[in-house]
Amino acid sequence: MDRLPKIALPAVFIIILLIILISKSAVTIGSGEAGVLYKTFGGGVVTDEAPLGEGFHIVAPWNKVFIYEVRRQELFEKMKVLSSNGLDIQLDASAWFKPKYDELGKLHQQIGDGYVQRILLPTIRSAARSVVGRYTPEQLYSSKRDAIQKEIFEETKKIVDNQFIVLDEILVRDVTLPPTIKDAIERKLKQEQESLEYEFRLEKADKEAQRQRIEAQGKADANKILSASLNEQILQDKGIEATLKLAQSPNSKVVIVGSSKDGLPLILGNN
């Protein structure tokens, strides 16, 4: 009984020590995350092995694990940029990105967990200023939004690809012009639309006039051909045919008085 406390005290101490070591060594990596291992006595950041995946891990208590989110993330930014003629333009854009999973160790070693602020955001701002500076406010307002979105994406991607970052897309959500410039552009676009509408009406009227001229010319040509094809015998046959139809009409009273100069009978009288 006297020896029990002497044995129990070291055992308790060892158990407590083991609990501390396990708590320091246990690492749980959540969903959509990955861990970069730092070996204090083994060369620092591990860059030649895959990152630690999701789940529970045991590492040496003197080592460290730096956890990164590896899912697609969104960065929203409002930027003040200048157009080609020096006017202030506000650009609202979003970037979809994530770190390169297989190169997460290099990202941590060379840039660190502040890579969004250190690399991605300054690159997007620089690309946006460069691209927007090539266009006028009229182009930005009307037809070039898709073009500048594509160009900003391509210029940003060219740089961040070498910085262990995957850039999936850049979306230009809004382009805000100074109110006076916006009003002037809208008036100009309205005038251009009215001008196009007026030209359309003129073109339509011109085509209708051409159609009527062609139709009139066709009728004139048909009459000319018909007149040329009629001779005295055809006219006489037509006259006889018309006379017979008139004579057979129940509403007519036929009186033959003689014959006319062309040999056709004369019909007079009616009910």
Q: Are 91 and 130 in contact (CB under 8 A)?
A: no
Q: Give the phi and the psi of residue 30 in degrees, each rounded to 5.
A: -80, 180
- Tokens of residue 148, six digits: 């500048």
pLDDT one digit per residue (tens) for the chain, 271 residues: 455 456 666 766 667 666 666 666 788 899 999 999 999 888 899 999 999 999 988 888 888 999 999 999 999 999 888 888 778 888 899 999 999 999 999 999 999 999 999 999 999 999 999 998 888 877 777 667 788 899 999 999 999 989 999 999 999 988 888 776 656 655 666 566 656 666 777 777 778 778 788 888 877 777 677 666 656 666 566 666 766 666 666 665 554 544 555 555 555 455 5
Per-residue pLDDT of 102-136, as tens digits, reads: 999 999 999 999 999 999 999 999 999 999 888 88
- Superfamily grouping for domain 73-177: Band 7 domain (3.30.479.30)
Look at residues 31, 127, 22 and name the one whose alpha carbon lies nearest to residue 70: 31
d(CA 177, CA 39): 53
Going by DSSP bridges, is the β-strand pair 165-176/33-39 parallel, antiparallel, or unpaired?
Answer: unpaired
Helix (H, G, I), strand (E, B) or coil at 136: coil
Look at residues 225, 216, 138 and name the one whose alpha carbon lies nearest to residue 177: 138
Question: Residue 95 to residues 83, 142, 147, 152, 235: CA-CA distances in angstroms?
Answer: 21, 22, 16, 10, 88
Q: What is the pLDDT of residue 184?
A: 62
Q: Where in the chain are the domains?
A: 4-69, 73-177, 186-229, 233-267
Q: What is the pLDDT of residue 257?
A: 45
Q: What is the pLDDT of residue 183?
A: 61
Per-residue pLDDT of 67-85, as tens digits, reads: 999 999 999 999 888 888 7
